[in-house]
Homo-oligomer: A and B are copies of this chain.
């Protein structure tokens, strides 16, 4: 049957049995029949003492393939590495694709990294050390240095020969980059082009000279965008002298896009990470409480603000009935504007427009939405309570609140982006509370002004 399901429970049990009874050959046969992603899932699911047997059954190189596919967090990585003999761990890291090894090492502290690097062969250590220099979230940090480069003055035959030799180590051989004698990037040839060309054709004849690249220091999102827009399988990374340093492959980009989207999403919800598995209520509460506590104190601020209007509220108790309505509408309008602004920043669209233009559009949007909602609410309150002044008051408060909320929702992330602060601070709940406060100020302020007209 071609459709292979992820490892089912019976298979997992059998694997575990082989492991526990030290049947190494049976275990290896069964284990290597699986995709490394499934191997990784299983690896993460078993107990530490079971994993220790596994490390004896698998070579560092075999373990490297599993580690490359592991979907894991900082603590787990530290745990796995500490379970291994340090020489075994260092050999495993050396055998991984350099970009994946760097991902792992980035989770450890400096002294641990240094320790593993000294235990490695010099070649592997050097490659990893170079990649470790690049700042996290830059193109440099996600690129791999295992790529194939050829020269323009080669024939297709000799290029294919190089590919055959390099294929087992290169992360992709589907694009081959062409460099000059100074290692400067001058072109690209796809394996497809190589295959359909005659053996004696010169690379210079078939290469595409319009090769797209990114600077090593740009944000990883920019590289992701380019690969997505242009449907590339690999994108070369260069230094300022146009020298080829590495390549970024599409499978790494899928992870970047996924991560960035989930980051924006978590921000909007006010959680530190919506994606990772919550193992129990304590770990879930730990992720959510920081925001809730900040909100609690912002909420107390709101409460003390309303407290200032206690006299007004005492005189006209009906006023308090509409506080949640007005605050809620303003909060939601702000979240909508925030969501759009954050997506635009993520998609790199803010560069095309001035901040002023964006804010004017938000003000316009708030004005239109506020007018529609304000008129509707005035009508409803008038019919319900028979009080036109109260209706007009609530309607006007909604109109003004929505304008301010839309502008504020867009402005906060834009300002943060301008000052290169991560807009994480401007998460959904934060904006909501800000707009609660503003809208309540507007509402109760107006009410206090027109208190004589209310009954």
Contacts and interface: CB of A to CB of B under 8 A. Distances in A.
Contacts of A333: 288, 292
Contacts of A323: 320, 323-324
B324 A440 contact: yes
B361 A284 contact: yes
B296 A329 contact: yes
Given A210-B35, A233-B233, A275-B347, A324 B303 contact: yes
A333 B292 CA distance: 8
A8 interface: no
B230 A368 contact: no
28 contacts: A2-B211, A3-B212, A71-B229, A174-B233, A233-B233, A250-B250, A250-B251, A261-B262, A265-B268, A269-B428, A274-B339, A278-B340, A278-B361, A280-B364, A281-B362, A281-B365, A281-B367, A284-B362, A289-B369, A289-B372, A292-B369, A303-B324, A304-B384, A306-B324, A317-B317, A323-B323, A328-B331, A331-B432
A163 B349 CA distance: 40
A303 B329 CA distance: 13
A271 B255 CA distance: 26
Nearest to A318: B310
A254 interface: yes
The 3 closest A-B pairs by CB, nearest first: A281-B364, A269-B339, A320-B320
Given A4-B212, A339-B271, A295 B257 contact: no
A264 interface: yes
Interface of A is mostly: helix
A214 B372 CA distance: 48
B332 A295 contact: yes
| Residue among A37, A265, A293 with most chain B CB within 10 A | A265
A422 interface: no
A191 interface: yes
A114 interface: no
Interface string A416-455: 0000000000001100110010001000000000000000
A282 interface: yes
Interface string A56-84: 00000000000001010000000000000
B376 A296 contact: yes
What's the interface size class on A, roughly? 35 or more
Nearest to A192: B167
A10 interface: no
Given A2-B242, A270-B332, A343-B262, A195 B167 contact: yes
Contact of A324 (B167, B173, B302, B372): B302
B302 A328 contact: yes
Interface string A342-368: 010001010000000000011111011
Interface in A97-112: none
A291 interface: yes
A336 B269 contact: yes
Most chain B beta carbons < 10 A, residue from A34, A268, A280, A362: A268
A448 B423 CA distance: 42
State how many copies of this chain the complex holds.
Answer: 2
Nearest to A314: B317
A265 B274 contact: no
Contacts of A196: 164, 167-168
Given A213-B2, A250-B254, A269-B336, A306 B289 contact: no
A303 B436 CA distance: 16
Interface string A8-47: 0000000000000000000000000111010000000000
Nearest to A253: B254
A320 B145 CA distance: 63
Contact of A428 (B1, B335, B361): B335
Given A284-B364, A428-B428, 5 more contacts: A2-B238, A35-B210, A257-B257, A284-B362, A327-B328
